[in-house]
Amino acid sequence: MGWPSPLHVPVADHPHRAVGFGIAVHVARFGVIVLGLEIAPLLGITGWYSGLFTNALCVVFAAALVTYLGLWRRIGATTLWRGRTAGLLLLVPLGEALLWLLPDGLIEKPPGFGLWAITLLLVGVNEELISRGVVLERMRRAFNPYAAVAITAALFGLQHLSAFATTSRGAYDIVTNVLVSACYGFALASFQFRFAWIVPLILIHGLADFTTILTSGGLGDLAVVGTLVLFVTYGILVIRGACLGVTPNPRVHPGHV
């Protein structure tokens, strides 16, 4: 069976219901975060480790939701390779993640690189399964490709408003993070819409968070703006490729290894 064109995905859902579903999923994830932060101290888990515990709970929630909806194969969670085009297009988000290593590499923060890697990988797993897995699959049934990806990205960005309730960060920092996350989410959602291959997105997402948080210097504002423009442009081009029927391997069906 050939690779299905995104334009041929049947519109079988009402837009309002689809958006309501997406909002509900993100709100439910936020509820899991709040619950985890409340339960952790009762179990003797405090400080930085309460975040690790909460991220683990979010992974359980995301995996349960994907299992309930039967999406593992559809989103490419069992796919090892999706073709040369997909592999080459991954170089853009991968390159952005590695860019944060400049100019002086990473700085180790407590409790160490290893535990940071674990918790940020868990973030990558639960956020990708929720946003580029569950939410995007629902949006693509109700909207055209560009709208499905854009709405998915917007909801992903807006979920970061939860930092008002869970951190002491300032309003400017949080709102800026919402914008950055939405642009980043647009790029990743466009790739997932076209290729249905979520595993590398999980790994790159975790790596990007790792390098961003532990960078010793960080990119300047101008460079950050440049990456946002890059992400949006990248996303548009990737979706356009899907709409034109450009596929990495016409003999591979989404969900097949």
pLDDT tens track for 30-59? 999 999 999 999 999 999 999 999 999 999
Residue 106: phi and psi, rounded to 5, are: -110, 160
Domains of the chain, by residue range, sit at: 6-243
Q: How confident is the model at residue 146 (pLDDT cuts 50, 70, 90)?
A: very high
Given a cut of 60, whether residue 253 has pLDDT beyond it is no
Angle at 61 between CA 139 and CA 254, to 5 degrees: 45
User: If 0-12 CB within 10 Å is exposed, 13-18 middle and 19+ buried, where does residue 16 land?
Assistant: exposed
- Residues 100-120 have a mean pLDDT of 95
195/86 Cα distance (integer angstroms): 7
151/149 Cα distance (integer angstroms): 6
What integer best gives the mean pLDDT of the chain? 91
3-state secondary structure of 215: strand
Given a cut of 90, whether residue 245 has pLDDT beyond it is no
- Identity of the amino acid at 234: Y
Of the ranges 8-17, 85-94, 129-138, 194-203, which one carries the lowest mean pLDDT score? Answer: 8-17
Given a cut of 90, whether residue 103 has pLDDT beyond it is no
CA proximity to 140, closest of 179, 187, 189, 67: 189
Of residues 8 and 60, more confidently modeled: 60
Query: What per-residue confidence (pLDDT) applies to 11?
Result: 52
Cβ atoms of 239 and 9 within 8 Å: the answer is no
pTM of the model: 0.90
Given a cut of 80, whether residue 8 has pLDDT beyond it is no
37/94 Cα distance (integer angstroms): 31
